[in-house]
Amino acid sequence: MKRSFSEYSAKEDFFWLILRPWIFIPRVLYILLTFIFLFLRILFQGNSKNKNVQKNLSKYLFDVITDLGPCFIKLGQALSTRPDLVRQDWLTELTNLQDNLPAFDHKIALKIIEEELGSPANKLFEEFPDSPIASASLGQVYKAKLNNSYLAVKVQRPNLYFLIRRDVVILRFLGTFLSPLLPLNIGVGIGEIIDEFGKALFDEIDYQKEAENALRFANLFKENPNIFIPKLEKQFSSKRVITTSWIDGVKLRDRILLEENNLIPASFIKTCVISGLQQLFEFGYFHADPHPGNMFALKGGNADCGNLAYVDFGMMDTITNSDRLTLIKAIVHIINEEYYLLAEDFQKLGFLTKEQDLQKLVEPLKEVLGGSFGAEVGNFNLKNVTDKFSKLMYSYPFRVPSRFALIIRAVVSQEGLALRLDPEFKILKIAYPYIAKKLLTDNSEEILDILLEVVFDKKGQIQIEKVESLLNILFRDSENINPDLIPVANAGLKLFVSKKGSEVRKNLLLSLIKDEKLEFTDAKKLLALIRDTFSPLNIAKSAVQNIISTV
């Protein structure tokens, strides 16, 4: 009985392959010989202090993975998101792995379409081209025409299920056997990592799951006028073929190309980053492969927020509500330079074991992150911090939980995309105000608890400096009055007088009592800060800014 695309079983797949030695042995020998040459080179050069030697070695690693085919290219991409597994100085080369291969035979693609959809392509569509317009590691895309509209028809590569099933088994077998010889910082069994990879890859080659992902993603952004998701054509989609409306846009690969099409690069950067933050911190469901080939700039929009289209929903992931809230807390603790509490966040998320002495990590975390989110927020560069953090993770007992691998990949990919369009781009100029606004406007009990941690210390006293820092980030780290001033003021007022605001009111009253006496100094400072921030003049300017942005 034929296995489902969505199924993955390490044990069953291993026995399936081991009982077919004519398949298993030649492939293992080829991969093993390739790895032997790689490991010999690593053995002699892996510990070299010479940067050129390490650069050449990382390039050789890149060539080996590319030569071994799609499954290994995917693994290389996964490894490029795992700073806990691979030396930091190899990561740069691995992140250059591109998900594309030469196109497969057009006649085979036509045969797959007929098998999957029940009719030849020339009968299903008014026009069907003789060659694909794009090719990737798992499939290739054709631009077909139907009812005077163009469609994107993605056809899966032949025998992909067999090839991936075979190579995942061999990867697990060789990885488990060879892992002790590799200079990798592995906190869990290599088999678990390969299993994680195999499950994700099996999901990605099931185009019916991709179709479901596309529909879910489109529903999340249905109220957002700046985000476009191609319409799924169900009647022309199956497990190995997926058809959507054609996106007539410009890939976010080149700033000059955007400008030649009268598109403003900065506007698409903002839409891209904000939509990514919404996926992570609001929806809990995100596009895990936001590279330039999967995102298109569209006409329309404005200078502040451009119209952006997402495509390719094979690699999606979710984040639990608990992890989402802990991440927000971690950002707040970084902002406030509370490194012990940050270490506790890492522990809760699974990056550190419960037995780890967190006090020992305070200074290393301060060294890596200190000042990054303070006065120099506009100069923050995620890649620089990521590089430093990679070294920290290699030296200290940090481990990236499997559920965070795709999150890291998505965040780093988004900043890389933005830097491609604008080398001076600073991700926190957009991301940090977003977090600040969420703390100030989200009335959920969980976010309110985090806000209370910022406003009041453990003794219930007002933390004026932290409140001022939060407001400064949102309203004073830009040249113009922020249009969010009015929404934040409204949300704050509603919260204060609402039932949920009882905790805020209680803490404010308790903060007035010090040594059994009334003390109004902190309260006066807080009122002065609120008065200065939300002055009538600033509110008026914010209203004007809102009107201008909608014109």
Active site residues: 289
Q: Label the pairing between strands 227-228 and 307-310.
A: parallel
| Length of the chain (residues) | 551
Closest CA to 324 of 228, 455, 444: 444
Q: What are phi and psi of 70, to 5 degrees?
A: -55, -45
Q: Which two tokens stand for residue 411?
A: 């965040």
**Do the beta carbons of residue 427 and residue 380 sit within 8 Å?**
yes
Contacts of 252 by beta carbon, 8 Å cutoff, 6+ apart: 258, 268, 272, 292, 295, 296, 297, 417, 420, 421
Q: What are phi and psi of 240, to 5 degrees?
A: -115, 0
CA angle 369, 415, 196 (to 5 degrees): 90
b (16+ CB within 10 A) / e for 19-32:
eeeebbeebbeebb
Contacts of 550 by beta carbon, 8 Å cutoff, 6+ apart: none
**Do the beta carbons of residue 478 and residue 490 sit within 8 Å?**
no
**Do the beta carbons of residue 478 and residue 538 sit within 8 Å?**
no
What whole-number distance in Å separates Cα of residue 372 and Cα of residue 374? 6
Check residue 400 and give left, alpha or beta (phi > 0: left; psi -120 to 50: alpha).
beta
The helix/strand count (H/E) of the chain reads as 24, 12
**Do the beta carbons of residue 463 and residue 456 sit within 8 Å?**
yes
Question: For residue 356, with 0-12 CB atoms within 10 Å meaning exposed, 13-18 middle and 19 or more buried, which class applies?
Answer: middle
What whole-number distance in Å separates Cα of residue 73 and Cα of residue 67? 9
Check residue 105 and give left, alpha or beta (phi > 0: left; psi -120 to 50: alpha).
beta
Check residue 2 and give left, alpha or beta (phi > 0: left; psi -120 to 50: alpha).
beta
For 280, which DSSP code? I
What whole-number distance in Å separates Cα of residue 272 and Cα of residue 286? 12
What whole-number distance in Å separates Cα of residue 93 and Cα of residue 110? 36
Question: For residue 50, with 0-12 CB atoms within 10 Å meaning exposed, 13-18 middle and 19 or more buried, which class applies?
Answer: exposed
Q: Which two tokens stand for residue 17?
A: 């392959």
Quick check: helix, strand or coil at residue 421? helix
